[in-house]
Structure 1
Amino acid sequence: MIRRSKYLSLRALKQIHGFMVVRGFNSDLQALRELLLSSVGSFHGNMNYAYKLFEQISEPDLFIWNTMIRGASHSSRPPDAISLYRRMVESGTKPDSFTLLFLLKACTKLASAFAGAQFHGMIVKLGLESDAFLRNALINLHANCGDLLIASALFDGAAKGDVVARSALTAGCARRGKLGIARRLFDESPGRDLVSWNIIIAGYAKQGEMEKARELFDQAPERDVVSWNTMIAGYARHGLHAQALEAYQKMLEAGERPDEATIVILLSACADSGALEIGQRIHCSLSEMCSRSGLSMPVGNALIDMYAKCGSIDTAMEVFREMKEKDVWTWNSIIGGLAFHGQAEESVNLFERMRMEKVRPNEITFLGVLAACSHGGLVKEGRSYFSVMKNEYRIEPNIKHYGCMVDMLGRAGLVKEAFMLVDAMEVEPGPIIWRTLLGACRLHGNIELGEHAKEQILKTKQDASGDYVLLSNMYASTGEWYGVEKIRKLMDARGVRKDAASTVIEADSEEPMRLLLPSVPAGI
């Protein structure tokens, strides 16, 4: 029963584990091995339950170590694979070819050429370089993040006739922008399978060459859901949202069943383009599937993000409440969405609930909660969370975190404190920070600090007419007309012209985003 449990939910696996404990099988190493394998295979990117099982095993064998390393290499925390390997070696367990295969996967995902080179050396030392699986993994590693010359040398040997090796080298070259080499490998391939077609199409799509990608897509002898997703994602990534949704419509007309990745890509396109109506239609078409199993985390997160960005924060909250399982990105989406919509207290309350539920926040979480404090005038809370971020969670603030703090202090009239914070920053303040300070000085009439902010903007050589207008208005608001005249002369001397005012009017026209899309087939 456990062997088939890769299709079970986390709740079902916990029930199986509970049954094992009640019946006295929790010390049965074979049963624990199968349960661990099932939990790792079931929940990609969420290894928490697997770790809890693993820590209960006093003397893990090589199979168990490999299972955990494999799970970590496929998860959102690939560094854990290397940490587990170190623990394995310290325990006296020797690695085998499977261990190294999973470690190479982790290094590729991490884009760590240095760590990958170390494991490459170990493979050579152990005499495993003739292993076809390891050789192909090494080609994939070096092609994607290491030395392309090494990848090519490995391929030119015994791997030249290996379709998997050719695909790995082609994919690596394509991802690194070496489309000429990738296209040559593709054209010279004696047997171009569907994977090869998808790889070269994805290479052009990633580089934004959508016309060439579409040309190859149309030439492909067959297509699968990956082919369609590649085109849809390529259009969406480069801002061609109407084309992305049109490709989805044609996908359905061709009889291809969309998968979870399709839906996430489409919802992201709707979020970026403001196509709320289409996003709602996609959501409604998922109702039959969701009534049986609930929203998956990727789809739920994409729905929250879409509704929040399209101005429907109440619906975003409904989706959040419906989700049975949540990860840090679920919380980030709703906390940031509430902050963006001015619901500062609700955003902060959810952040506190997130901490109570032991979900570890990341730098994006703190960006959302600091933005909420800024928009809501919650200065005390903002100071506290900024300190918590640095001291409790050991997250170094970046320019965006500092920007939120400066904006918060500036809005509250604490202009001097904002300047002190900027002086103490461990990162170089850019023109946006100085413009935020200049705006605060204008709002609260602090001419002295406003002039200092303007001087710093001039040093960045990224000044704009709006900066001069802000400072000029600040002088005018206090009746210092000499200062106004000084700014006007400075604008003339630097050749700065104030942009003419304009108004954007939405005229009646065909709306390219409002496509009449068929429903998503149930059960994707």
Structure 2
Amino acid sequence: MIRKRTNDNVSSNRFQRSSLWQKCTNFRTLKQLHAFLVVNGFNSSPSALRELIFLSAIAVSGTMHYAHQVFAQITEPDIFMWNTMIRGSAQSLAPASAVSLYAQMENRGVKPDKFTFSFVLKACTKLSWVKLGFGIHGKVVKFGFQSNTFVRNTLIYFHANCGDLSTARALFDASAKRDVVPWSALTAGYARRGELDVARQLFDEMPIRDLVSWNVMITAYAKLGAMEKARKLFDEAPNKDVVTWNAMIAGYVLSGLNREALEMFDAMRDVGQRPDDVTMLSILSATADLGDLEVGKKIYRSIFDMYCGDISVLLGNALIDMYAKCGSIENALDVFRAMRDKDTSSWNSIIGGLAFHGHAKESINLFQEMLRLKIRPNEITFVGVLVACSHAGKVQEGRMYFNLMRDSYKIEPNIKHYGCMVDILGRAGLLIEAFDFIDTMEIEPNAIIWRTLLGACRVHGDVELGRRANEQLLKMRKDESGDYVLLSNIYASKGEWDGVEKVRKLMDDGGVKKEAGRSMIDADNSFLMNFLFDSKLKFVKESS
């Protein structure tokens, strides 16, 4: 256990004179610095421990887990260490740990200060823990911090975002309105609740607008797809940071204006603004949607240069997704193999990409490797491997993986899994089994499933079952000409011209006009696109 030493002037001064901590920018150097502290006896110095906790919890990205390990070994952490850990946890992907730390702090009789409450409130805001946040508000009043500007502004931020706008407004009205922070917090609260008119009114009334205020309004308009209004504010903003640029880029991507997003990215770099992970995730999404491989390679080179080849898991996953959608599965595989760290999404992206591009054997092999490595698959993984089984005609394996999903991993099949199984059986010509499978589904089959089965009946020339599938489709929709054409083609392939005429009459009576140029290849690709890439990465919405 690490113990505080009260008389540490010598070691403390020596540590402060050291510039080693200033060079600590990644996990490797952080561990080296920790080892240096242990070897040189600074591990018992409170000031050295404060620096170590600050570096691992705040300064160095992605090392919060290490901060928790170090903190757990300190027998008597001071209020700075507690606050730093709570702050780092509140900013991390696991903000609930900030609340847990606060509870430990209370249990050990450590008196909180104004910073403690602000950091805990930010965690409650991030988690949308309204009840707990109100409880923390009570603690703020009990300890006499409500009049503190820093704490009051955080309270406004909490209540505006996940508490009560009327309470936030009351706190705001009682505060000094010359302070730009509560103006921004209240404006953000109204904007996030979709009350843009009120938010814009507050924004226009602000005596002083800081960068946060501009970013709040630009982001709000961008999220709603009001890109003209967002662009107007963007152009008017006196200053811009990476958040400002990211809001615009993400807004263009969400609005389907991918070329505009790429142009904004180029402009961002032209003015010398350094992109971050959020920027690159948005740009990769835009490139994937465009399917432009050359642009994708250019973006990859930019990412590689920015991060010196040390690409995060999120960026690696986005690169795999982008290359797969651009049709370059070899590049997707290269990225996957080069990734030092992988998560389930990494495996899902490559397994699904391989399956979609017809590399069924490789897709199934990677799935089996995933299982050997004890990486737990999820519902998306099984969509990818079931599509691979369909492409490879592996009926028995498809049944096995479908049962594995339900029985071993306790994943309830959704409409995509059922659709994949119908496709597997239909492609193999097991049409009666496919009908029986649909009858046993625990959820209502949708039009895509019946259309898939109708297409299989067309391929295998089964008139009777095709008619049954078409009847089910017509109960759901009567205006899709492709459904009629498929049934008509089944009749025609068997020379049953009376049936063709009946289908034509049904179309005429229903006022349905035939679509031009739609083929079974189109229908099949549409099926796969819906099932494979329906669950594309959500990072744009979450990070904008």
Rate the CA distance shift 1:94–1:451 in 2: closer, same or farther, 3 A: farther
Partner of 2:522: none
Does 2:91 correspond to 1:74?
yes
Structure-to-structure mapping, 1:423-434, within 5 angstroms: 423-434=439-450
Partner of 1:468: 484
TM-score w.r.t. length of structure 1: 0.80
Partner of 2:248: 231
One of 218, 224, 227 as aligned partner of 1:210: 227
One of 114, 117, 124 as aligned partner of 2:131: 117
Partner of 1:501: 517
Does 2:461 correspond to 1:441?
no
Q: Residue deviations 1:11-32, cap 9 Å, x none?
A: 4455667788999999999988
One of 121, 140, 147 as aligned partner of 2:157: 140
One of 482, 490, 499 as aligned partner of 1:483: 499
Partner of 1:363: 379
Residue 220 of structure 1, CA deviation: 1.4
Partner of 2:354: 338
Does 2:401 correspond to 1:401?
no
Classify the secondary structure of the residue corresponding to 1:499. Answer: coil
Partner of 1:520: none
Asked if the contact 1:73/1:80 (under 8 Å) is kept, the reply is yes
Classify the secondary structure of the residue corresponding to 2:256. Answer: coil
Structure-to-structure mapping, 1:47-446, within 5 angstroms: 71-78=88-95, 84=100, 88=104, 96=112, 101-102=118-119, 104-110=121-127, 112=128, 115-124=129-138, 127=141, 130=146, 132-158=149-175, 160-291=177-308, 294-446=310-462
Asked if the contact 2:161/2:189 (under 8 Å) is kept, the reply is yes
Q: Residue deviations 1:147-173, cap 9 Å, x none?
A: 433433333333744422221222232
Residue 49 of structure 1, CA deviation: 5.5
Q: RMSD over aligned Cα, in angstroms?
A: 3.9
Asked if the contact 1:5/1:13 (under 8 Å) is kept, the reply is no
Amino acid at match of 2:197: G
Asked if the contact 1:331/1:365 (under 8 Å) is kept, the reply is yes
Asked if the contact 1:438/1:454 (under 8 Å) is kept, the reply is yes
Residue 189 of structure 1, CA deviation: 0.8
Farther-moved stretch of structure 1 (445-454 vs 207-216): 445-454
Amino acid at match of 1:414: L
Unaligned ranges ≥5, structure 1 = 504-524
Asked if the contact 2:117/2:140 (under 8 Å) is kept, the reply is no
Asked if the contact 1:179/1:203 (under 8 Å) is kept, the reply is yes
Amino acid at match of 2:335: V
Amino acid at match of 1:275: D
Asked if the contact 2:58/2:84 (under 8 Å) is kept, the reply is no
Rate the CA distance shift 1:16–1:188 in 2: closer, same or farther, 3 A: same
- Name the count of aligned residue pairs: 498
Asked if the contact 2:86/2:102 (under 8 Å) is kept, the reply is no
Rate the CA distance shift 1:354–1:221 in 2: closer, same or farther, 3 A: same
Q: Larger Cα Rg: Structure 1 or Structure 2? A: 2
CA distance in 1, matches of 2:227, 2:295: 23
CA distance in 1, matches of 2:345, 2:59: 19
Asked if the contact 1:139/1:154 (under 8 Å) is kept, the reply is yes
Residue 209 of structure 1, CA deviation: 1.4
Rate the CA distance shift 1:6–1:467 in 2: closer, same or farther, 3 A: farther
Rate the CA distance shift 1:497–1:20 in 2: closer, same or farther, 3 A: same
Farther-moved stretch of structure 1 (228-237 vs 85-94): 85-94
Rate the CA distance shift 1:502–1:362 in 2: closer, same or farther, 3 A: closer
Rate the CA distance shift 1:489–1:347 in 2: closer, same or farther, 3 A: same
Asked if the contact 1:6/1:42 (under 8 Å) is kept, the reply is no
Structure-to-structure mapping, 1:10-21, within 5 angstroms: 10-13=27-30
Asked if the contact 2:478/2:510 (under 8 Å) is kept, the reply is no
Residue 391 of structure 1, CA deviation: 4.1
Amino acid at match of 1:117: K
Matched residues, percent identical? 58
Rate the CA distance shift 1:480–1:247 in 2: closer, same or farther, 3 A: same
Classify the secondary structure of the residue corresponding to 1:324. Answer: coil
Amino acid at match of 1:321: R
CA distance in 2, matches of 1:30, 1:356: 46
Residue 185 of structure 1, CA deviation: 1.0
TM-score w.r.t. length of structure 2: 0.77
Asked if the contact 1:3/1:38 (under 8 Å) is kept, the reply is no
Q: Residue deviations 1:110-136, cap 9 Å, x none?
A: 4x4xx3234313432663571555544
CA distance in 1, matches of 2:30, 2:407: 37
